[in-house]
Amino acid sequence: MWTLSGFIDEISPDFTQQCRVAADLGLRYAEVRSAWDVNILDLSPDQLTVMRETLAQYRLQVSSIGSPIGKIFIDEPFGPHLERMRHAAEVAHELAAPYVRVFSFFLRPGSDPAEHRGEVIDRMRALARVAEQFDVVLLHENEKQIYGDVPSRCLDVVRSVGSPYLRLAWDPANFVQVGVRPYTEGYGMLRRHLEYVQIKDARLADGSVVTAGNGDGEVAQTIRALRHDGFDGFFSLEPHLGAGTATAGFSGPELFRQAWRDFTNLLQAEGIDYA
């Protein structure tokens, strides 16, 4: 039985509507990234209380904190960001989330990733130490234009840090948008470190984001392999079908529902149970 979740801020800025639509789809988990147009790490204590109470009202649990940790340039000061990581871990505890999504730092255009490798690994180790202190697991997402945007550097990050508190989130659309065929070029390399799957697809021709199975993200091949390998984790809908920013995406209720339908149709076609 696979467990579905989703970045529910793609539904609406209003957190109650986010939860209502998610619950209507039968989701039991949500990934929280923002509410009321405020990033999850910038919500006030009172707003976090309202969030927790609203989640409980709709019988939703939190699969992961969709944090922006690591979404700064590698040459920007790290100290304040490390404090922000501690806050992210505190928010994860408050919302009973086992995971916090992170990134391995943006590189300046035209820079050589190899020149920044040492600093990236040092920073990722520091983030993992905070995660260990708080007993939460970090999920490194293969975002575009960060150090770990291609499979080989994702592997480098997770191997070099060497912590059980740093694992990988798999985003097929992001791989496609950097010219990678995800299953063909990345699955075998990264599978043993893969903890969490984000459901988003894209087309190699122009990088446009589409629903699962309608792009070049090799989603069907990937879920077949995951089933064969006995994967038993979260699959988090992140449709990105409407407007987006550097830190978030948006789809709206109807496109979010369409993303859910297209992915669950894939699961049904493969005979995979989900909840």
Name the band, by pLDDT with cuts 50, 70 and 90, for residue 246.
Answer: very low
pLDDT at 64 exceeding the cut of 70: yes
Q: What is the average pLDDT across 95-119?
A: 98
> Looking at the predicted structure, is the pLDDT value of residue 244 above 60?
no
Q: Is the pLDDT of residue 249 over 80?
A: no
pLDDT tens profile 26-52? 999 999 999 999 999 999 999 999 999
Q: What is the DSSP string of the chain?
A: -BEEEEBGGGT-SSHHHHHHHHHHTT--EEEE-EETTEEGGG--HHHHHHHHHHHHHTT-EEEEEEEEET-SBTTS-SHHHHHHHHHHHHHHHHTT-SEEEE---B--TT--HHHHHHHHHHHHHHHHHHHHHHT-EEEEE--TTBTT-SHHHHHHHHHHH--TTEEEEE-HHHHHHTT--HIIIIIHHHGGGEEEEEE-EE-TTT--EE-TTSSSS-HHHHHHHHHHHT---EEEE----S-B-SS-B---HHHHHHHHHHHHHHHHHTT--B-
- Whole-structure pTM value: 0.96
In tens, the pLDDT along 148-193 reads 999 999 999 999 999 999 999 999 999 999 999 999 999 999 999 9
